Amino acid sequence: MKLEEYLEKTAEDVDIELFRLFGSAPGELNKASAYLLLAGGKRLRPAVVMLAADIIKKGCARELLPAAIALEVTHTFTLVHDDIMDDDSQRRGVQTVHCKWDMPTAILAGDVLYAEAFELIIKCIAESDAKVLSVDILARTCVDICQGQHEDMSFETRDDVLDYEYIDMVGKKTGKLYAAAAAIGGTLAGGDVKQVQALHDWGYFSGIAFQIQDDLIDLMTTTDKSGKDQGSDLSEGKQTIVAIKAREAGLDLSKFRKPDLSEAEIKEAIDMLEKAGVIADVRKTAQDYVTRAKDMLTALPECEERRLLSEITDYFVTRGF
């Protein structure tokens, strides 16, 4: 099966289950919680859970669909809160939750999703010990995500953030959730320590590459195509890998740090970065993490699912353009 077909089929299955679980929940808070969750998305983290499970035990992924849903719910919880902190107005082509409702409702909506994720893992058809370990993995991951988000915000007050600090931050903020998706899938399927560690490390390095690509998408992809405000990182002066490498190249992006950047100003910034070789350097960094991620897969048995995981890693750094 081609990767695109697998992702489309998985997204369809996940969407059906999400609408079944969250589509008709009563009350305004439940509607706010379900709003962004049901707004679409590639459903990449659920796909990772299911592929990892089928690498370990072929055919068991359907029994672990609740865990796949749990990872998407966790991801959405982080987006709801992230949008509040960044004061973004669009996500997945729709209003963000705090803009459609209000900030207190959005905070509570994210909290509801956070709690729902743990309950979903317990509903899987798997060994009790594996479910307990999976809950532990997800809980630790949520702590890492929060720490990464706090580091991301703290970087905004600095102009001396280094590459390794950025990588550590995005490893927590993004890499750890992909690592958890793969590790939880492998754990629930009965994988041994070596297999689960390989899946975890694949997810971690892949997630770093994913976030680097996300930084490029934020800058270079239009709002209509990405569903997010183009240039929001540039406007807010966030210390992304693009900003860090621009500073190392001697570029001053401070004039772009203002609200409501025009298309012409965003294009000017992109032209500057491309001429200085910054964009190419960022893409090479992402590709280095793709290579590291794929190396982790050699510890796992060769099969179609392992091939698809490898192709997902490539997709992470080609999407959005």
Interatomic CA distance for residues 175 and 206, integer angstroms:
7
One-letter identity of residue 153 = M
Assigned CATH for 3-315: 1.10.600.10
| 3-class secondary structure, 55 | helix
Q: What does the pLDDT look like over 55-104, one tens digit per residue? A: 999 999 999 999 999 999 999 999 999 999 988 888 888 899 999 999 99
Residues 6+ apart with CB under 8 A from 140: none
Whole-angstrom distance between the N-terminal and C-terminal Cα of the chain?
A: 23
Residue for token pair 């305004």: 28
Q: What does the pLDDT look like over 197-245, one tens digit per residue? A: 999 999 999 999 999 999 999 999 887 777 677 888 899 888 999 999 9
Q: What does the pLDDT look like over 16-67, one tens digit per residue? A: 999 999 998 889 999 999 999 999 889 999 999 999 999 999 999 999 999 9
- pLDDT given at position 236: 84
- pLDDT given at position 249: 94
pTM (global) more than 0.85 = yes
**Alpha helices, H only, the chain:** 3-22, 28-37, 44-56, 65-86, 97-100, 103-122, 128-155, 163-170, 176-188, 193-220, 223-226, 232-236, 241-248, 263-275, 278-296, 304-316
Q: Which long-range contacts (CB under 8 A, 24 or more apart) does 18-24 make?
A: 18/69, 18/72, 21/69
What does the domain layout of the chain look like in residue ranges? 3-315
Residues 6+ apart with CB under 8 A from 33: 22, 25, 109, 110, 112, 113, 116
Q: What does the pLDDT look like over 149-199, one tens digit per residue? A: 999 889 988 889 999 999 999 999 999 999 999 999 999 999 999 999 999
- pLDDT given at position 35: 93
Interatomic CA distance for residues 293 and 283, integer angstroms:
15
- pLDDT given at position 223: 78
To the nearest 10°, the Cα dihedral for 184, 49, 225, 218?
30
Burial per residue of 53-76, b for 16 or more beta-carbon CB atoms within 10 angstroms, e otherwise: bbbbbeebbeebbbbbbbbbbbbb
Q: What does the pLDDT look like over 256-272, one tens digit per residue? A: 998 888 899 999 999 99
Structure token digits, residue 189: 């399927």
Interatomic CA distance for residues 130 and 106, integer angstroms:
32
Indicate if the alpha-carbon torsion angle 176, 181, 185, 188 is positive or negative. positive
What is the radius of gyration, based on Cα positions, of the chain?
A: 19
